[in-house]
Amino acid sequence: MLWPLPVVLVASQGREGPPNLLTVAWTGIVCTRPPLLSIAVTTGRYSHDLLVETGRFTVNLPTTSLVRAVDLCGVTSGRDTDKWRRAGLTPVAGSAGGPPLVEECPVNLECRVERRLDLGSHTLFIAGIEQVHVAAGLIDGKGRLALERAGLLSWCHGHYYALGRQLGHFGFSVRRRPAGRAGRAGRAVRAGERPSR
């Protein structure tokens, strides 16, 4: 019922055997110091066993052009499918020695499980982010990460979406607008107000 969610490709690998891919929408950053994220994975999934076995995974952020590959990795199992080959994705070694990164994804996070919460249908893996890889094209002239350029994929209640218009920026609601700029371009959207189309 949360809308929208990110959707990511999680690569995991057991002590033996090839790496696998899992589509995950129940993920999020949960702490900045130390940098931690979480993924909630259904117990009994093939990937669940791999995650428990080694405690290592990578989170790879797909673009809208990878939507078919993302769906495929979320409806097939690594138990009987080489998802990398079938989805046309390329494993590349990361720098932390864990499972591979997905080369086609512009952002990759190498993670190590720090806590495991067995919640019921899902296990919540809380993991430290050990390495971050970002495609060079996403760093702007000032060295800022311009993630909005990446065209990342979103998941909304059973459907895949590209994000829409930008409506504001951090803190814009309390920033004073320069005099004479209160016209259409500078108009903020107030809570409860429906933005015009």
Backbone dihedral angles phi then psi of residue 43, each to the nearest 5 degrees: -65, 145
Does 26 contact ligand FMN by CB under 6 A? yes
Does 23 contact ligand FMN by CB under 6 A? yes
Kindly indicate which of the ranges 22-30, 51-59, 165-173, 185-193 contains the residues binding ligand FMN, using the contact rule CB under 6 A: 22-30
Cβ proximity to ligand FMN: between 146 and 163 the closer is 163
Cβ proximity to ligand FMN: between 20 and 108 the closer is 20
Residue 39 · residue 127 · CB < 8 Å: yes
- Smallest CA-to-CA distance from 163 within 1, 2, 4, 43 is with 4
Cβ proximity to ligand FMN: between 78 and 106 the closer is 78
Can you tell me the distance from the alpha carbon of 12 to that of 56, in angstroms, rounded to the nearest whole number?
7
Rounded to 5°, the CA angle 86-87-89 comes to 115
Kindly indicate which of the ranges 73-81, 92-100, 134-142, 175-183 contains the residues binding ligand FMN, using the contact rule CB under 6 A: 73-81
Considering CB under 6 A, how many residues would be counted as binding ligand FMN?
21
Does 38 contact ligand FMN by CB under 6 A? no
Can you tell me the distance from the alpha carbon of 67 to that of 83, in angstroms, rounded to the nearest whole number?
14
What does the DSSP 8-state code read for residue 145? Answer: B
Residue 177 · residue 185 · CB < 8 Å: no
Considering only residues 137 through 196, tell me which ones interact with ligand FMN, judged by CB under 6 A: 155
Does 53 contact ligand FMN by CB under 6 A? no
Can you tell me the distance from the alpha carbon of 13 to that of 20, in angstroms, rounded to the nearest whole number?
6
Cβ proximity to ligand FMN: between 50 and 107 the closer is 50
**What residues make contact with ligand FMN under the rule CB under 6 A?**
7, 20, 22-26, 40-42, 45-47, 71, 74-79, 155
